[in-house]
């Protein structure tokens, strides 16, 4: 099994592309979905966030108000680093556990959506291929304003804090342009699915795992054989 990293910019359409992979029967891991679970009321991360940021970041039902929390940490580097130290290790470990589960259930590859894949660099080592989702600059701005109810200046500032899409594209193996309609995006995504389906890397990886398991098995068997062979007869 190998891992395909899916990334892009804010509001470029990563979730749309991820849903197309899912519709095609590909195992996917959604970092945003996991981040929500990590901060569910009662979890360790939720308790630490509540203790550090106070009740002002919680909704009446106790759930974390992610927009409010985002506003706080976006304008305060120290608080942003604190939030990252609480959530990122838990998100990453949860993602890797899911990846291992998919490996042992026989999936040839999985798609892992990581918004800040290039910015943090922590998950890059695990990625065999990387897909970046892009769209026109004005579309990204409009979509972000509409989705998060941001003023234009706020949206521009948020976008500028991420690595420019051009640099992400240059570091990627595939690019999906989500500037058009859903059909065009689907065609691009399914074209990549066909290419990944015929990748020989998954068999190469499985062969290495098989050889490693066999080596351990025969090593243990040989040790047991020699042990009993040398054991004195009573």
| pLDDT, tens digit (0-9, with 9 covering 90-100), for 187-228 | 999 999 999 988 755 544 444 444 444 455 444 444 444 444
Cβ atoms of residues 4 and 112 within 8 Å: yes
Domain boundaries 2-199, CATH class: alpha beta
Cβ atoms of residues 79 and 72 within 8 Å: yes
Identify the bridge partners of residue 133 per DSSP, sorted by sequence position: 8, 176
Query: What is residue 200's predicted lDDT score, i.e. its pLDDT?
Result: 59
Task: Report the pLDDT averaged over residues 181-191.
Answer: 97
Q: Which residues contact 28 (CB under 8 A, 6 or more apart)?
A: 18, 21, 22, 110, 111, 112, 113
The structural domains of the chain, with segments of one domain joined by +, span 2-199, 200-234
Q: What is the pTM of this model?
A: 0.82
Residue 165 scores a pLDDT above 80: yes
Q: Which of 10, 14, 15, 32 is nearest to 137 (CA)?
A: 10
| C-alpha neighbours within 13 Å on the C-beta side of residue 161 | 15
Task: Report the pLDDT averaged over residues 59-83.
Answer: 93
Q: Determine which of 56-60, 175-179, 209-213 has the lowest per-residue pLDDT on average.
A: 209-213
């Amino acid at each position: 099994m190998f891992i395909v990293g899916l990334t892009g910019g804010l509001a470029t359409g990563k979730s749309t592309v991820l849903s197309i992979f899912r519709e095609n029967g590909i195992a996917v891991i959604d970092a945003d979905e996991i981040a929500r679970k990590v901060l569910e009321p009662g979890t360790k991360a939720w308790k630490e966030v509540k203790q550090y940021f106070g009740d002002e970041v919680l909704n009446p039902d106790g759930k974390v108000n992610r927009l409010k929390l985002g506003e706080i940490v976006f304008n305060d580097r120290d608080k942003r680093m604190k939030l990252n130290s609480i959530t990122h290790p838990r998100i990453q470990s949860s993602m890797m556990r899911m990846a291992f589960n998919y490996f042992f259930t026989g999936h040839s590859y999985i798609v892992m959506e990581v918004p800040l894949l290039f910015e943090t660099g922590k998950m890059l080592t695990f990625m065999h291929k990387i897909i970046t989702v892009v769209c026109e600059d004005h579309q990204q701005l409009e979509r972000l304003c509409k989705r998060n109810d941001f003023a234009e200046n706020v949206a521009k500032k948020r976008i500028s804090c991420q690595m420019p899409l051009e640099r992400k594209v240059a570091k990627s193996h595939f690019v999906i342009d989500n500037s058009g309609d859903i059909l065009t995006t689907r065609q691009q995504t399914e074209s990549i699915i066909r290419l990944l389906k015929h990748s020989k890397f998954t068999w190469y990886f499985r062969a290495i795992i098989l050889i490693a398991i066999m080596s351990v098995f025969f090593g243990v068997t040989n040790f047991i054989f020699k042990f009993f062979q040398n054991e004195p007869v009573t």
